[in-house]
A and B are shown apart, each in its own frame.
Chain A
Amino acid sequence: MADHDHSHDHEHGSELSETQLRVRALETVLTEKGYIDPKALDAIVEAYETKIGPRNGSVVIAKAWTNPEFKKALLADATKAVASMGHMSRVGDHLVAVENTPQRHNMIVCTLCSCYPWEVLGLPPVWYKSAPYRSRAVKDPRGVLDDFGVKLPKDTEIRVWDSTAETRFIVLPMRPAGTEGWSEDKLADLVTRDSMIGTGLALNPSEVK
């Protein structure tokens, strides 16, 4: 478990908040009842802090940019294609990759809760789970993109995927110009989390060091 404390995480004495007390009570009771093992909780937290993040998705996208066969497989069955890479824990059964083109831009949302492709992107950011995003993405996605500083041509089709079941979506962003001959590893640095949600575009070569 990462041992750094956030400054607002007062885990001592009288500074424990009501929420912290209730969470602690839950963990103690569920442990004493024999349902959970605190060491397993430590391992889960550690995995989310250190292993499961958007880099997993970036590597998938970079491979799709350089390998037409893989791209085809990814768009046909993302679960299978990602599993074939074997670099991460197995993906759940229901991953779908959707491709951005000059004609069409895709954006992912969950208006009802917080469904998100955790296995390839890690934990969803707070904004993804927030009311402003969940309420507006399906009605005013250009306004949302504006909040992210992204402007698309007026005639680009915008397709919003509301994750209302257990299907999870990942956007395959467009490969930036000026990256011909780049290695997968270098390309992966251009693939931001937001570009795989659809609230951003892949970075241009000039935007990375």
Chain B
Amino acid sequence: MDGVHDMGGTDGFGKVIAEKNEPPFHAKWEGRVLAMQRAMGYAGAWHIDHSRFAQEQLPPLDYLGSPYYRRWMLAMEKNVTERGYATPEELKAGHAQTAGKNLKRKLTPDIVAEGMTRSSFYRQQQGPQKFQPGDRVRTKNIHPATHTRLPRYARGKTGVVEMCHGCHMFPDSVATDRGDNPQWLYTVVFDSRELWGPDADPTLKISIDAFEPYLEKV
């Protein structure tokens, strides 16, 4: 979706300000939010692209105005209620009123290390690889109203395939509950002037990781 989360190339956000000796968390609740997200992911309650999509659907002012982990919390509330893991009334009351749904597994302290390892996104290939390193490709000019990983600044642009990463589950499908729908994944590199016009820094090259459905041959 064409939301405020798709920030690449937006002007006006100002300087990057780095905090010296930044702690892992700035408040206890941040760690709880992160850990709940990990635990619910391990349980199979939803997929990482459901979390991303839920954040993208936050009202723009909420997205831009919320600290990072508050955004996670808002997205988690959305997934918890919309996917039927709890009701809004329960979250409001702060207590469960009925028993939970069955989830495939539960993260317990003894298996935390295993539960924190990122799962594999590789999937069985469904067809032959369409592009090879060195191929010139154009990204499609698409504007799906739902989750996609093709950023706006790189749509309708010509670039070169640099790597193929194998077949991965396709976020655009996963986020909308249409299955893994595995697709070939490529690193595609663009000249800065293709993306940002003739005045762009000529020493700059930008790459994205693009799923095959985002691409067409030039």
Asked whether A and B interact, the reply is yes
Q: Give the B-binding residues of A (Cβ under 8 A).
A: 5-6, 8-9, 11, 19-30, 32-37, 39-45, 47-49, 52-53, 89-94, 96, 111-114, 118-119, 122-123, 125-127, 129-142, 144, 147-148, 154-167, 194, 199
Contact A165 B204, CB 8 Å, known A126-B19, A135-B9, A139-B9: no
B136 CB within 8 Å of chain A = no
CB distance from A2 to the nearest CB of B (A): 9
A41 to B25, CA, bound (A): 14
Known: A22-B91, A131-B13. A45 touches B7 (CB 8 A): no
Using known A-B contacts A44-B112, A163-B209, determine if residue A26 contacts B95 with beta carbons closer than 8 Å.
Answer: no
Q: Which residues of A contact B52 (CB under 8 A)?
A: 112-113
Known: A40-B112, A138-B206. A30 touches B36 (CB 8 A): yes
Query: For B15, what are the chain A residues with a Cβ–Cβ distance below 8 Å?
Result: 132, 147
A159, B10: Cα distance in complex, Å: 19
Chain A residues, Cβ within 8 Å of B5: 112-113
Q: What is the distance, in angstroms, from A8's C-beta to the closest C-beta of chain B?
A: 6
CB pair B29 A36 closer than 8 Å: no
Going nearest first, the 8 A-B pairs with the smallest beta carbon separation are A33-B100, A92-B118, A111-B8, A165-B209, A32-B96, A41-B35, A45-B31, A44-B35
On whether the beta carbons of B39 and A94 are closer than 8 Å, the reply is no
A8, A90, A160, A164: the one within 8 Å of B26 (CB) = A8
Q: Check if B185 is an interface residue, CB within 8 A of chain A.
A: yes
Complex Cα distance, B185 from A91, in Å, reads 19
Q: Give the chain B neighbours of A123 by CB distance below 8 A.
A: 24-25, 34
9 contacts between A and B (CB under 8 A): A9-B27, A23-B33, A37-B106, A44-B116, A49-B25, A114-B68, A119-B117, A123-B25, A139-B153
A115 to nearest B CB, angstroms? 9
Cβ of B39 and Cβ of A35 under 8 Å apart? yes
Give Cα distance in the complex from A56 to B103, angstroms. Answer: 33
| B57 contacts partner chain A, Cβ-Cβ < 8 Å | no
> Which range contains the number of B residues in contact with the other chain?
35 or more
Q: Of the candidates A9, A28, A40, A44, which one forms a contact with B34 in the assembled complex, judged by CB atoms under 8 Å apart?
A: A44
Contacts of A37 in B (CB 8 A): 39, 106-109
Given contacts A32-B95, A33-B100, A113-B5, contact A148 B16 (CB under 8 A): yes
Instruction: State whether the Cβ of B58 lies closer than 8 Å to any Cβ in chain A.
Output: no
Q: Report how far A121 CA is from B62 CA in the complex, Å.
A: 28
Known: A28-B95, A35-B40. Is A43-B70 also a contact (CB below 8 A)? Answer: no
Residue of A nearest to B119 (CB): A92
Bound-complex Cα distance A34 to B10 (A): 43
Evaluate whether A44 and B16 lie within 8 angstroms (CB atoms) in the complex, with A19-B70, A92-B120, A112-B5 already known: no
Tell me the minimal C-beta distance from B165 to chain A in angstroms. 6
Contacts of B211 in A (CB 8 A): 165
- Note all chain B residues with C-beta closer than 8 A to A199: 16
Q: Is the CB of A160 within 8 A of B120?
A: no
Would you call A30 and B80 a contact (CB within 8 A)?
A: yes
CB closest residue in chain B, given A139? B9
A153–B10 Cα distance when bound, in Å, is 26
